[in-house]
Amino acid sequence: MSTNKAIDTVAGGKASVVGNYLDDRLHGASGVKKLLNKVFPDHWSFMLGEIALYSFIILLLSGTYLTLWFKPSMTEVVYNGSYMPLKGVKMSEAYASTLDISFDVRAGMLMRQIHHWAALFFVAAVSVHLLRVFFTGAFRKPREINWVIGTLLLVLAILEGFAGYSLPDDLLSGTGLRIAQGIVQAIPLVGTYVAMFLFGGEFPGNEFIPRLYSIHILLVPGILLALVTVHLIIVFYQKHTQFPGAGRTESNVVGYRLYPIYMAKAGGFFFIVFGVTTLIAALVTINPIWLYGPYTPSQVTAGSQPDWYIGWLDGAVRLTPNWETNLLGHTISWNLLIPALIIPGIMFTALGVYPWIEAWVTGDKREHHLLDRPRNAPTRTGLGAMAISFYLMLWISGGNDIIATAFHLSINQITWSLRVLVFVIPPLAFVITKRACLGLQRRDRDKLLHGYETGRVLRLPHGEYIEIHEPVSDNERAVLLGKSDVPPLQLSAASDHNGVANPKAKSGARRARLSNWFYGDNIPVPSEAELEEAAHHLEHAAPGEIASH
Amino acid sequence: MNEIQHGSHDPIGAVNGHDVITGKPIVPLGHHELRRADIDPKAAIRAERQVAAMFGLSSVLIVTSIIAFIVVPNDVLVILPLIGPVNANHISVGFSLGLGIFLIGTGAIHWAKKLMPDVEITEERHAFASSAEDKAAFGEAIREGKSASGIGERKIIRRSLLGSLALFPLPLIVFLRDLGPMPKTRLRETIWDKNIEILTDATYRPIRPEDIPIGGLVNAVPANLLKIEEEDGNLNERGKASIILVRMAPADIVSQQGQGWDYQGILAYSKICTHVGCPISLYQQRTHHLLCPCHQSTFDLADSGNVVFGPAARRMPQLPITVNEQGYLVAASGFKEPIGPSFWERG
């Protein structure tokens, strides 16, 4: 008690009174102090995850607002709102109430558009954040678990987005649901039953919108919120990774304190994301459901396109040839199973287990808190480029009809070209990216040894032109020296010195080959001896000699 | 003196200029450049005013958005350059609110960048693995608990518990049963039948053969659909029974799914794509091709509705048609094969 009083008299003020009150009950002082003093490293790419988080908060806020007016019902009503072109038209209550939100509730259109834009940004931010984490190797030990949570978040974000834009029951979203239902129906053995149960019978039925609604506003957001929370707690607990640079080691964090610096910066950034989303929602129309009309299963609009994050799935469905087999009187629709279930299944599984695959290939069991620059892990960067180009090919396929009409090309030729390109481009992307990374590594090594090109050209007395090279700055030197060189795994002996065969020799050989593929082409950082010699050379050599490098 | 000397001593995690974990050379933190506001009180005051101006303007804009919400009419369009016509209430509320929120953010970040300390701080990072003693103590606690509960030795308890835990989720799954009906033959049947009149979709008028010119296309539904939609209150039957009628010169017809299923060159096909069920109506007269706008499956209506391109595996089912006594087009029978997307039991 006496200590509390002492604090009161020393610190005074209302804040300390509140602080004492809370600490007496929750014992927060020492823990919260640590929390407030926590140091975070600074880099623009660390804001990508923040954008995702803030978009999610904006989605929760704007979504709650929309639930106050939206009626998730497929009951047929006659529209009598203020949007003249649809007056007197029969439609579901879901669609009618979405029109009401858009035209009769003041600021309703703004909230709807904020919600939709934030959803588009959310999936985009999650995706780009994932790429940042991938290309910098931030998923490595001890962060593999958070990587898996991130993968789950991406899958859920895509599903949640699809569920959300399917709710208004307009012609476009109804078409999306029809396709989803057709895909569910294609699942072997249980598909027909699952489709019947989901839709309360045949498509479209009267049940699906209210069911989807509770999934969209309760179940999936609940799981998302729980996973986001765990994701953040783990980031906090494990401390953020940092890029190599001056003063940065594997066992420290260099940056600024959470309080007050990041509270101001990250808190401010929330308002920037919110403000920009609101401005875009005010200025740019998104998903104008009133133009599409109410859903009916006998109509469709030409050139209908899903939200951007569904495009690659739709593209895969468009590209797959019309394979279907009959197994003892049962239909297996490969034309749907491959693009809509097997390919995404493989892609997301590969994504989720990638940290373990890489660790196995490289034999790397160490903790990593310093990030890789993408060029310093050429094989990983190449694989990433390969995955991105595969995704992009599918995504472009999702718009093959738009391309055909915009450029007056034959849809058949475009589809056939993409069927070929989807297999040709990714390996090319791998090779080109890997080579480009190795080229950059060579340049980095060159910079360390011979300095950078200043752009200052000298003419020597005897008429020769040379360019002056100067040593790179301390900070750049720190970045370049931060590259880690891991020797590939060595072949384990096929038998020991007594001639007893090594049972692991075969798998060891395979691993050594893989490890060599992963690390083999690495351009090593100059050794300290080499650096010293080069520095000596740079200082004392005549300008003419420098130029010869 | 625009900089603070950090000194060249090793940062945390480095000894003699080398990372203690990786052994790589470590360059110490360099000089810290002071900002204008750190050395020039005038610059500091300027920054302070800039921050306050952003916060102040933000307050004004937020209040503006409330006033706009109340005052600006919701049924007036204004035309903005580049953007086009927009609702006056929507744009005034949205723009002032958006900018107001944005300025809170820029103010806070400007404050942090110009006035809050920008000296980088180094904090120690601890290894994640617990100490060997902690791990051992943890393992011991687990073992102790295990032996105290006796779950290892008391096999009968363990197995019966596992049994009931395995059964526990089952009712939760079984209770989902009433979500929907069994499929039965639902996916194989439509409401088309012999002598059901063919009505134009949307206007619901019966059709005479001479109403359809060669090259023409008519969207149509069965006459009994309207009553069923009214009774069931859903669009299920429409999703299966919608058809298109096309007319071509009889000489152009290469083949049909049944002998004489056309009526004087008028052919009736299901409108529901056999791929994933989108309704199709992009018809090219010259080639008699029908193209699905969803995934570009293409069917040749002059040749039994066979697939000529795209992901659909099955032909478009044809509906046999004829005319009734009053001279209107009617179905000669129901569909002879399931319409719409494939399903496991389809065969």
Task: Mark whether A337 and A398 lie in a shared domain.
Answer: no
A498: pLDDT confidence band, cut at 50, 70 and 90? Answer: confident
Closest-CA residue of B relative to A330 is B347
CB A126 within 8 A of CB A95: no
Task: Mark whether A437 and A293 lie in a shared domain.
Answer: no
Question: With a CB-CB cutoff of 8 Å, which residues 71-100 of chain B face chain A?
Answer: 74-75, 83, 86-87, 89-91, 93-95, 97-100
Across the interface, which of B101, B118, B294 has its CB nearest the CB of A175?
A: B294
- The answer to whether the CB atoms of B236 and A260 lie below 8 A apart is no
At residue A12, the pLDDT reads 58
- The answer to whether the CB atoms of A82 and B240 lie below 8 A apart is no
B117 touches A at CB < 8 Å = yes
Structure tokens at A427: 């390996």
Task: Mark whether A334 and A385 lie in a shared domain.
Answer: no
Q: Is residue A497 in some structural domain?
A: no
- The answer to whether the CB atoms of A260 and B116 lie below 8 A apart is yes
Among A316, A337, A359, where does a domain finish? A359
Closest-CA residue of B relative to A481 is B25
Q: Is residue A13 in some structural domain?
A: yes
A283 touches B at CB < 8 Å = yes
**B5: distance to nearest CA of chain A, Å?**
14
Q: Say whether pLDDT at A293 is over 80.
A: yes
A203 touches B at CB < 8 Å = yes
Calpha distance B210→B330 (Å, rounded):
14
Structure tokens at A529: 């001896």
Task: Mark whether A252 and A141 lie in a shared domain.
Answer: yes
CB A303 within 8 A of CB A401: yes
Q: Is residue A504 in some structural domain?
A: no
Q: Say whether pLDDT at A3 is over 50.
A: no
CB B93 within 8 A of CB B69: yes
Across the interface, which of A253, A276, A335 has its CB nearest the CB of B275?
A: A335
* The model's pTM: 0.93
Closest-CA residue of B relative to A38 is B123
At residue A549, the pLDDT reads 41
Q: Is residue A91 in some structural domain?
A: yes
Q: Is residue A446 in some structural domain?
A: yes
CB B226 within 8 A of CB B205: no
Calpha distance A528→A534 (Å, rounded):
10
Q: What is the pLDDT of residues B36-59, one digit of tens each?
A: 999 999 999 999 999 999 999 999
Task: Mark whether A178 and A123 lie in a shared domain.
Answer: yes
Closest-CA residue of A relative to B110 is A265
Please report, for the domain that includes residue A332, its CATH number.
1.20.810.10
**Distance, first Cα to last Cα, chain B:** 85
Task: Mark whether A222 and A113 lie in a shared domain.
Answer: yes
At residue B30, the pLDDT reads 80
Calpha distance A294→A315 (Å, rounded):
25
Structure tokens at A335: 């034309």
Give the number of domains in chain A: 3
At residue A2, the pLDDT reads 45
Closest CA to B316 of B343, B289, B295: B289
B114 touches A at CB < 8 Å = no
Q: Is residue A501 in some structural domain?
A: no
CB B191 within 8 A of CB B222: yes
Range of the domain at A450: 373-486+522-549
- The answer to whether the CB atoms of A264 and B116 lie below 8 A apart is yes
The ipTM (two decimal places) reads: 0.93
Q: What is the pLDDT of residues A364-384, one digit of tens each?
A: 889 999 999 999 999 999 999
Q: Say whether pLDDT at A487 is over 90.
A: no
Question: With a CB-CB cutoff of 8 Å, which residues 15-44 of chain B face chain A?
Answer: 19-22, 24-30
At residue A539, the pLDDT reads 67
Task: Mark whether A224 and A337 lie in a shared domain.
Answer: yes
Task: Establish how many alpha carbons lie within 13 A of residue B29's alpha carbon, considering only the half-sphere containing its beta carbon.
Answer: 23
A390-413 core/surface letters (b: 16 or more CB in 10 A; e: else): bbbbbbbbbbbbeebeeeeeebee
Q: Is residue A89 in some structural domain?
A: yes
At residue A26, the pLDDT reads 87
Share of chain A above pLDDT 70, in %: 95
Among A324, A359, A394, where does a domain finish? A359
Question: With a CB-CB cutoff of 8 Å, which residues 38-57 of chain A face chain B?
Answer: 38-39
**A295: distance to nearest CA of chain B, Å?**
10
Amino acid identity at A210: P
Among A336, A359, A382, where does a domain finish? A359
At residue B2, the pLDDT reads 40
Task: Mark whether A60 and A20 lie in a shared domain.
Answer: no
Rounded to the nearest 10 degrees, the angle between the axes of helix A411-450 and helix A474-481 is 120
Question: Which domains can be identified in chain B, with CATH numbers?
Answer: 34-114 (no CATH), 189-346 (2.102.10.10)
Across the interface, which of A178, A191, A252 has its CB nearest the CB of B124?
A: A252
**Mean pLDDT of the A134-162 span:** 97
Closest-CA residue of A relative to B62 is A275
**B328: distance to nearest CA of chain A, Å?**
22
Interface test with chain A among B121, B276, B300, by most A beta carbons within 10 Å: B276
Q: What is the pLDDT of residues A418-433, one digit of tens each?
A: 999 999 999 999 999 9
Task: Mark whether A467 and A414 lie in a shared domain.
Answer: yes
At residue B347, the pLDDT reads 83
Task: Mark whether A447 and A392 lie in a shared domain.
Answer: yes
Q: Is residue A69 in some structural domain?
A: yes
- The answer to whether the CB atoms of B69 and A106 lie below 8 A apart is yes
- The answer to whether the CB atoms of B343 and A203 lie below 8 A apart is no
Task: Mark whether A71 and A170 lie in a shared domain.
Answer: yes
Task: Mark whether A354 and A402 lie in a shared domain.
Answer: no
Q: Please identify every stretch of chain B with a pLDDT value under 50, giving residue numbers as ranges.
A: 1-7
A265 touches B at CB < 8 Å = yes
At residue A540, the pLDDT reads 59
Q: What is the pLDDT of residues A243-279, one digit of tens each?
A: 999 999 999 999 999 999 999 999 999 999 999 999 9
Structure tokens at A304: 């209908």
Q: What is the pLDDT of residues A122-138, one digit of tens each?
A: 999 999 999 999 999 99
The mean of the pLDDT values for chain A is 91
Task: Establish how many alpha carbons lie within 13 A of residue B241's alpha carbon, considering only the half-sphere containing its beta carbon.
Answer: 28
